Amino acid sequence: EENEWVKTHDSMRIGYIRDYIPYCGSNKDGDTCGVIRDIFGEWAKQLSLSHQIRIEYQAYDRYPDLVAALLSGEIDAAFPIHDNIWFSEQSGLVQTNDLVESGIYLVYRGDYNESTAKIIALTDRSPFQQNYVSTYYPDSEIYLADTQKDCLEAVKQGKATCTFLDSGRADELLSHREYNMLNRLTLDETINYCIGIRKGNNIMYSLLERGVSLIDKSDMTNAMYRYTDFGTRYTISNFIQDHIQIVLS
């Protein structure tokens, strides 16, 4: 069945979250970049499909839109999908084995106390935030923001008491000077990301899982750090902002 699929298809459609570096995003030329390219490049290499299957990437602004596209058949698979089997089953998805692991930061302002998680800023662009909060902080009030940067703004302005970031994203987001007053606490839990496939699409699941099982997870972790460095490179503009008083004098 896998061979028949390969014979009758010359491309595979992969959906991802827009501007979610280091996992997925676009470079200055508009081309898809991030760990997603390493994953599917290595998958094709491991199954000797590099010259048979063309990977086509499609970006989505919101995680629910990504899942909806997968369920409708608009795309064949999606990354990153938060490794949470219960939530995936409720959404009609099946998961491959994990490919990338990341830590979780609690980001807050002021002192850490019993009220720190009273109002949590979340965005539906994040693959993990809502699942994580509903599991570990079910009694907290939710402040829904548009982006993860807006979540940080909400904490900064006192509209929310905290937000959660995965460590892969945090370095890029917290590198902006306007968030220097925010604190971060590394939590014990970790996030694992995998590829999602529509439930019932057994051939696609089998084909992807067989290749994923051959990928060295440490290579994908190294790729994550490489793209994180790309996203947070220290520039001349950063230097000027850090030393503005000296520059003006």
Q: Per residue of the chain (249 residues), give pLDDT as tens.
A: 999 999 999 999 999 999 999 999 988 888 999 999 999 999 999 999 999 999 999 999 999 999 999 999 999 999 999 999 999 999 999 999 999 999 999 999 999 999 999 999 999 999 999 999 999 999 999 999 999 999 999 999 999 999 999 998 898 889 888 999 999 999 999 999 999 999 999 999 999 999 999 999 999 988 888 888 654 443 444 444 444 444 444
Does 127 sit behind a cis peptide bond, omega within 30 degrees of 0 on the bond before it? no
Which pLDDT value is given to residue 99? Answer: 95
What burial letters (b/e) apply to 78-111, b meaning 16+ CB within 10 Å? bbbbbbbeebbeebebbbbebbbbbebbbbbbee
Measured CA to CA, the distance from residue 22 to residue 183 in angstroms comes to 22
Which pLDDT value is given to residue 225? Answer: 86
Q: Is the pTM of this model over 0.85?
A: yes
Please check whether residue 170 is in contact with residue 128, taking contact to mean a CB–CB distance below 8 angstroms: no
Which pLDDT value is given to residue 221? Answer: 87
